[in-house]
Amino acid sequence: MSRAPQRHRFYHIFSFWLALNLVILCPLSYAKSPPGILVIANVAAHLPILTHHEVRQIYMGGTLSRKYRAVALKVGNPTRILFNTKVIGLTESRIQSYWAQLLFTGRSHPPLELSSVKELLNYVATTDNAIGYVPTQVALPNNVIVVYQK
């Protein structure tokens, strides 16, 4: 007889806490997801889907950078900061230091820098072998394809 009321009380407390957690945590699951990055290329480049390593190699002056023309946004642009941290995996200061070394030794040149996403889209759309990056919410023209998404 003494066990039944205890069990009943336990279920009430458990149900209350479960309902409270659902009320608190469910709205958090609908919070805005962090912005993503699309790496895009001109359709004429006939590029397959690129791997993370290949994108990094193109943007950091590796062997693929001789075949494809990487374009980037200007320093300080929020999309550039997101790209550098999520895709390249380095801070802006580390990337600038890296390019200073490569320029000094004459081994490679940094990507062409453009001032806006619109300008970057136009450049990639009209230049063969051009590769750039844009935020995921940007509408892409027909002559541009997505080759990597992060």
Q: What is the mean pLDDT of the chain?
A: 83
- Whether 30 is covered by a domain: the verdict is no
pLDDT score recorded for residue 21: 59
Cα–Cα–Cα angle for 86, 123, 140, rounded to 5 degrees: 65
- Whether 139 is covered by a domain: the verdict is yes
* Owning domain of residue 82: 37-149
Please give the model's pTM, rounded to 2 decimal places. 0.74
- Whether 122 is covered by a domain: the verdict is yes
Q: What is the CATH number of the domain that holds 141?
A: 3.40.190.10
| Least confident stretch, 6-20, 26-40, 59-73, 131-145 | 6-20
* Tally of domains in the chain: 1
- Whether 14 is covered by a domain: the verdict is no
- Whether 24 is covered by a domain: the verdict is no
DSSP code for 113? E
pLDDT of residue 134 exceeding 70: yes
- Whether 124 is covered by a domain: the verdict is yes
DSSP 5-74: HHHHHHHHHHHHHHHHHHHHHHHHHTSPPPP-EEEEEEGGG---PPPHHHHHHHHTT-GGGGTSEEEEEP
Q: What is the pLDDT of residues 103-123, one digit of tens each?
A: 888 888 899 999 999 999 999
- Whether 57 is covered by a domain: the verdict is yes
